[in-house]
Amino acid sequence: MKKDDSVNVLGEVLAPCSTNPLTGFFRDGQCNTCAEDQGSHTVCAVMTAEFLAYSKYVGNDLSTPRPEFHFPGLNPGDHWCLCAARFLQAHDEGCAPQVNLAATHQRALEIVPLEILKRYAEEDT
């Protein structure tokens, strides 16, 4: 699998999203992507209790640990490379989490307009 260029939505070098928990399609701590990443795990999102409950409700339980997949389960405050379509769905439902723009891959823009991502920008990005 060949990674796409590591460029963020601001046109800069992609910043790390999280190494604890370790995130990303490649589990490299960044929201890097490639053609094989069908879910476009490109949005570096900051988990909230509301979003985690919403995600579980729509069938993607991100809060329950799954040791068999080396997945610790996410908690509010954790950063995670979220599927761009799930982020947009959460936006449409009024419960989207904050976003680290510097760590969000430019491929997210194929699904989520930059204007929407900017509405959820973390204060320190």
| Each residue's pLDDT tens digit, 61-103 | 999 999 998 889 999 999 999 999 999 999 999 999 999 999 9
Distance of CA 19 to the CA centre of its chain: 13
Give pTM, 2 decimals.
0.94
| Cα distance between residue 123 and residue 107, in whole Å | 22
Mean pLDDT over 5-24 rounds to 96
What is the C-alpha separation between 33 and 81, in angstroms, rounded? 10
- Predicted local distance difference test score (pLDDT) of residue 124: 54
Q: Has residue 123 got a pLDDT over 80?
A: no
pLDDT-derived band of residue 1, with 50, 70 and 90 as boundaries?
confident
**Of 38, 34, 27, 45, nearest in space to 6 by CA:** 34
